[in-house]
């Protein structure tokens, strides 16, 4: 039997006058929601007031179109922020995903997903940003293969405002939840009921006893520092602004009241606690509601946690009501959310915001290497610029090269990512025998002190390796890259490229800033977790693309590492078992047509004396259009390709690699990105050379 608060959910929502188009309780109809005919149907269960997609249909057969059901909302137009709350259940096994579809876009934007089964209905919340163009909500349900598995949706509730906001008048509590404690917990108060010992007479919303609020009481506290936590839904988009709420509190010496943010890793950051002057207003009983406004900066997904700790059963009570949020900061003096992109640089057009330390008498040089079969190029394009600290280029036998980044504000956590490469020089005995001194990263505080936050440990040479560094600074600081060489014989060269800084921990999912998914963004694939929906062509090719890390089995052909991180995965054509002229074809999933141009970007590796051909095609229902092609040996480096195309009908992208005349014909691809809109200005194709020319 369903809990009472879920049975009354529909009635409460129906009575609420703030529902927006796209809301539906599926009581008697689907409210213009329709099933995509290319997939399994969502069925309206009139007796249970919900729609579901099941492993088998009513006749016991697997539904046509497979077991994936796609439910489409009517076209929606909402110029202001709104909150979508979904009441759903995954029975047995399966997954549920919510996406946003805009007209003319080949990909849907992920909003939220879940694979967790449950024994009852579950509520999830997701913010919908203000949108100037019509869109549809896409709900994709995939029941698992086990018998009896199903995915069901009971309620879709779209209301104006942000998902953090709540007056607790509706039974779903806006997705807020109590983190269960054996002795002290948050409860719903008000509603005209007489609550024992809570001392709360009127809620804040309606100023009477019929309204609702959340409260916690110490009466059942048994141990020192019993903690009760009221937790908001997880934000699903970057947010910054003013968080407001009302609270009442009694017995100031018996409890501690604080508000935190909590990220997906479970890490807390204090947002607010009462000031000392407020404490003088407290008394032994609850009285007037006290308003609070605090600035919230959430560039990645967080929950807001209202936490109360009690020291004893006489710790009093705390009540909270009317939580709201505004995209404007509480004070005009609040500094805007820091844009970490100022610390990002690919060195294609200079040093960006990075500066040299002239005191050491040595410097990082900005260089470029033409594509060749002996020396690696830069990480950005394979033919662009990067920074190099090199003992042979330095007039002294030993050196210290320091590169200093821009100032980063204090009291924040950052994730620094950069790519480095150790490179040997002649004579062969040289080449960073002391690898721990090859490269180190320091955090230089505004007061002059510095702390080492990363040092080189990986000894792989000749490939670009990604380094991720999480650090927190309590005061303004700068990141400093230092390469140290004691003598010519101890050192080779160390290269840097593609630095980027983001807010938050490096372990946070890459899509956490934009949603709750751990899967790659649509159109993006780095092959680290699989093929991302790409499939092998089993009908017209002679072999498959293989997923691999490290070097390929055949010497003098193929990459030594992937492009994404240097130590990750890529796809390649293994030429050894194939005949000359045979090919392998990789197909994207079907892509919707678009009136606007699309930009396909990817990295390719074509190194080997017997390299054949790599081409990209557009397959439009059997009609083949060649988009891009490259033949013969190109470089020992990963090279970037960009292809702009337009297709107004359903299509697939095809990557085709053809074996050349010998086994040294391994062709690889990595880091595919497909985005709407024209490609950025195309880089000039560099001429293939046979030497390591540094310009």
- In whole angstroms, how far apart are CA 132 and each of 78, 103, 246, 543? 7, 12, 33, 47
| Nearest residue to 84 (alpha-carbon basis) of 12, 161, 195, 181 | 161
pLDDT tens column, 292-331:
999 999 888 999 999 999 988 888 889 999 999 999 999 8
The pLDDT score that the predictor gives to residue 151 is: 95
pLDDT tens column, 532-584:
989 999 888 789 999 999 999 999 999 999 999 999 999 999 999 999 999 99
| Sheet with strand 69-72: strands edge to edge | 34-35, 69-72, 135-143, 94-102, 109-114
- How many CA atoms within 13 Å lie on the side-chain side of 507? 7
Average pLDDT over residues 605-625: 94
- Asked if the model's pLDDT at residue 17 lies above 70, the reply is no
Strand partners of residue 571 = 547, 669
CA torsion sign, 384 to 390 to 392 to 394?
A: positive
Q: Determine the distance from the C-alpha atom of residue 625 to the mean position of all C-alpha atoms in its chain, rounded to a whole number.
A: 34
- Burial state string for 153-182 with b = 16 or more CB within 10 A and e = fewer than 16: bbbbbbbebbbbbbbbbbbbbbbbebeeee
pLDDT tier for residue 209 given thresholds of 50, 70 and 90: confident
User: Does residue 16 contact residue 55 with C-beta atoms inside 8 Å?
Assistant: no
Rounded Cα–Cα distance for residues 6 and 9 (Å):
5
Scan for tokens 């007039």, then name that residue.
Answer: 395
| Nearest residue to 612 (alpha-carbon basis) of 587, 633, 584, 628 | 633
CA torsion sign, 667 to 669 to 674 to 678?
A: negative
pLDDT tier for residue 594 given thresholds of 50, 70 and 90: confident
Enter the DSSP assignment of 360: G
What is the pTM (predicted TM-score) of this model? 0.86
pLDDT tens column, 357-408:
766 556 889 999 999 988 899 999 999 999 998 755 555 556 678 999 999 9
Higher local confidence (pLDDT), 486 or 566: 566
Rounded Cα–Cα distance for residues 237 and 516 (Å):
9
Rounded Cα–Cα distance for residues 102 and 109 (Å):
8
| Nearest residue to 608 (alpha-carbon basis) of 634, 580, 642, 572 | 634
Rounded Cα–Cα distance for residues 681 and 643 (Å):
11
Higher local confidence (pLDDT), 249 or 639: 639
The pLDDT score that the predictor gives to residue 577 is: 94
Higher local confidence (pLDDT), 427 or 574: 574
The pLDDT score that the predictor gives to residue 58 is: 52
pLDDT tier for residue 447 given thresholds of 50, 70 and 90: confident
Rounded Cα–Cα distance for residues 469 and 279 (Å):
41
Rounded Cα–Cα distance for residues 366 and 351 (Å):
8
- In whole angstroms, how far apart are CA 434 and each of 424, 461, 496? 12, 13, 18
The pLDDT score that the predictor gives to residue 351 is: 95
How many residues does the structure list for the chain? 695
**Angle, vertex CA 694, rays to CA 380 and CA 468, nearest 5:** 35
- Asked if the model's pLDDT at residue 196 lies above 50, the reply is no
Q: Which helix (DSSP H) or strand (DSSP E) does residue 276 occupy? A: helix 276-279
- Asked if the model's pLDDT at residue 523 lies above 90, the reply is no
Helices and strands, number each (H, E), in the chain: 3, 41
Helical H segments across 345-499, by residue range = none
Average pLDDT over residues 51-75: 74
- Asked if the model's pLDDT at residue 517 lies above 90, the reply is no
The pLDDT score that the predictor gives to residue 497 is: 97
Rounded Cα–Cα distance for residues 111 and 106 (Å):
16
In degrees rounded to 5, what are phi and psi of residue 279?
-65, -25
Rounded Cα–Cα distance for residues 185 and 275 (Å):
24
The number of beta carbons lying within 10 Å of the beta carbon of residue 86 is 23
Q: Which helix (DSSP H) or strand (DSSP E) does residue 28 occupy? A: none
Going by C-beta distance under 8 Å and a sequence separation of 6 or more, which residues neighbour residue 589? 533, 534, 535, 652
Scan for tokens 């600074």, then name that residue.
Answer: 473
Enter the DSSP assignment of 74: P
- Asked if the model's pLDDT at residue 474 lies above 80, the reply is yes
pLDDT tens column, 80-138:
999 999 999 999 999 999 999 987 778 888 999 999 999 999 999 999 988 888 999 99
Average pLDDT, the chain: 85
The pLDDT score that the predictor gives to residue 102 is: 87
- Asked if the model's pLDDT at residue 429 lies above 60, the reply is no
- Asked if the model's pLDDT at residue 290 lies above 50, the reply is yes
């Amino acid at each position: 039997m369903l809990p009472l608060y879920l049975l009354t959910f529909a009635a409460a929502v129906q009575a609420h006058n703030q529902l927006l188009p796209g809301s539906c309780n599926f009581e008697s109809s689907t409210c213009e929601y329709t099933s995509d005919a290319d997939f399994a149907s969502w069925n309206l269960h009139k007796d249970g007031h919900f729609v579901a997609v099941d492993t088998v249909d009513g006749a016991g057969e697997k539904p046509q179109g497979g077991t994936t059901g796609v439910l489409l909302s009517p076209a929606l137009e909402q110029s202001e922020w709104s909150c979508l709350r979904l009441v759903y259940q995954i029975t047995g096994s399966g997954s549920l995903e919510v996406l946003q579809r805009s007209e003319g876009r080949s990909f849907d934007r992920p909003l939220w997903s879940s694979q967790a089964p449950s024994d009852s209905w579950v509520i999830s919340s997701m913010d919908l940003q203000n949108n100037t163009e019509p869109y549809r909500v896409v709900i994709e349900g995939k029941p698992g293969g086990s018998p009896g598995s199903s995915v069901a949706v009971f309620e879709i509730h779209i209301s104006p405002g942000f998902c953090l906001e709540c007056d607790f008048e509706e039974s779903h509590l806006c997705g807020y939840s109590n983190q269960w404690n054996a002795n002290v917990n948050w409860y719903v108060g008000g509603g005209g009921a007489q609550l024992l010992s809570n001392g709360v007479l009127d809620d804040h919303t309606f100023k009477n006893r019929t309204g609702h609020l959340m409260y916690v009481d110490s009466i059942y506290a048994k141990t020192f520092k019993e903690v009760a936590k009221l937790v908001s839904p997880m934000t699903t988009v970057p947010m910054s602004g003013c968080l407001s709420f009302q609270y009442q509190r009694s017995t100031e010496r018996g409890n501690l009241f604080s508000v935190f943010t909590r990220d997906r890793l479970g890490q807390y950051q204090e947002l607010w606690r009462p000031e000392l002057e407020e404490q003088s207003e407290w008394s032994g009983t609850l009285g007037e509601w006290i308003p609070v406004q605090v600035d919230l900066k959430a560039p990645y997904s967080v929950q807001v946690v209202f936490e109360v700790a009690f020291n004893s059963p006489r710790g009093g009570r705390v009540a909270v009501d009317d939580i709201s949020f505004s995209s404007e900061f509480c004070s005009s003096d609040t500094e805007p959310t820091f844009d970490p992109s100022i610390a990002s640089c690919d060195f294609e057009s200079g040093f960006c915001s990075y500066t040299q330390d002239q005191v050491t008498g040595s410097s990082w040089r900005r260089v470029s290497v033409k594509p060749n079969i002996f020396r690696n190029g830069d990480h950005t394009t394979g033919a662009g610029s990067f920074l190099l600290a090199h003992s042979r280029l330095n007039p002294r036998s030993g050196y210290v090269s320091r590169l200093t980044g821009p100032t980063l504000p204090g009291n924040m956590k950052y994730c620094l990512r950069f790519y480095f490469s150790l490179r040997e020089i002649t004579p062969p005995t040289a080449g960073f025998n002391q690898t721990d001194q090859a490269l180190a990263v320091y955090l230089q505080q505004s007061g002059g002190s510095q702390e080492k936050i990363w040092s080189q440990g990986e000894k792989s040479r000749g490939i670009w390796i990604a380094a991720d560094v999480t650090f927190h600074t309590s005061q303004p600081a700068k990141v400093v890259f230092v390469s140290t060489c004691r003598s010519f014989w101890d050192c080779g060269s160390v290269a840097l490229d593609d630095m980027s800084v983001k807010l938050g921990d490096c372990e946070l999912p890459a899509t956490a800033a934009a949603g709750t998914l751990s899967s790659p963004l649509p159109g993006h694939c780095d092959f680290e977790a699989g093929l991302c929906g790409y499939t092998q062509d089993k009908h017209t090719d002679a072999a498959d693309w293989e997923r691999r890390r490290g070097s390929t089995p055949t010497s003098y052909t193929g990459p030594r590492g992937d492009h994404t991180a240097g130590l990750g995965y890529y796809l390649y054509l293994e030429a050894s078992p194939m005949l000359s002229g045979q090919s392998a074809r990789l197909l994207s999933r079907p892509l919707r047509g678009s009136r606007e141009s699309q930009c396909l970007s990817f990295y390719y590796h074509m190194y080997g004396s017997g390299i054949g051909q790599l081409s990209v095609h557009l397959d439009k229902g059997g009609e083949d259009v060649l988009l891009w092609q490259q033949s013969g040996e190109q470089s020992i480096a990963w090279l970037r390709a960009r292809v702009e195309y337009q297709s107004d009908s359903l299509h697939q992208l095809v990557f085709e690699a053809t074996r050349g005349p010998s086994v040294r014909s391994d062709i690889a691809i990595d880091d595919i990105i497909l985005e709407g809109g024209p490609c950025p200005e195309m880089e000039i194709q560099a001429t293939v050379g046979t030497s390591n020319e540094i310009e």
